[in-house]
Amino acid sequence: MHHQRGYTVLYTTYYAESNSITTERYTEMKNALMLKGQKKDYQEFHLRKLEFLGSNMKNAVANYFLCIKNHDTSQIFLEKKYVQNGLYYKKCTKITLEECSRIIAGQLDWMKGSRKELLADFYRQATLNNLYPGRVTDYQREMCRYRKGEYVTFTTSIERGVGQCRSITEEPEVKISCLDEDKVLLIYKKAASIPQVVSNMLQGQESQSEDYAFAF
């Protein structure tokens, strides 16, 4: 959990395991999920993520991303994610295309003191650590809710744009494939509860109604 200046940004916490599998194994696993009645919870989508970098070409301590799902300008998110002791912490909030464009352009003053706490958090980190937009990466994914709090994601394509991104909606002129031929990236996620003592401290401070951590 993240504490600063008397307020708290609540995270979705989960464990994750990933592995590269063959396309043959991917087909077998997908068919098995369908036979188990998971079809209604299955979705296919495209995800573009723009990662922010820090000074000296190093990643920020926490990773910040701009994300757009299915090229849909009504589904743009700011995401913060980091890993601590094997546990993933993730928080997302929805933003508009105009807000997204202003962030990429470095116009951040409007985020200062925002009622959306993740925006205010990003403003501080961006100004303190000189964050700037890096390259975009395109993912083609299929995701299934396996059990309550458990998710399986197959990533069938990963393509990274060359050069710095200037727009979340424009296609990079050059893309490089980051996934070996005939391979699929399998990711398994399982929701994890934060320690009760921390939960008690946070009660009533913020709801998680805007959390989209398992949406993509």
pLDDT classification of 212: cutoffs 50, 70, 90: low
Q: What is the mean pLDDT of the chain?
A: 85
Q: What digits encode the pLDDT tens for the residues 10-69? A: 788 899 999 999 999 999 999 998 887 777 788 999 999 999 998 655 555 689 999 999
pLDDT classification of 195: cutoffs 50, 70, 90: low
Best CA proximity match to 214, nearest among 154, 121, 157, 152: 152
CB 120 within 8 A of CB 138: no
Q: What pLDDT shows up at residue 198?
A: 55
Q: What digits encode the pLDDT tens for the residues 176-194? A: 999 999 999 999 999 987 6
pLDDT classification of 203: cutoffs 50, 70, 90: very low
Residue 205 in this model has a pLDDT that exceeds 70: no
Q: What pLDDT shows up at residue 164?
A: 80
179 or 214, greater pLDDT? 179
Q: What is the CA radius of gyration of the chain?
A: 18
Rounded-to-integer distance, Cα 82 and Cα 136, Å: 19
Q: What digits encode the pLDDT tens for the residues 100-117? A: 999 999 999 999 989 998
CB 18 within 8 A of CB 153: no
Instruction: Note the pTM of the prediction, 2 decimals.
Output: 0.85
Report CA-CA distances (Å) from 199 to 62, 82, 148, 192, 205: 21, 19, 20, 12, 10
Residue 119 in this model has a pLDDT that exceeds 90: yes
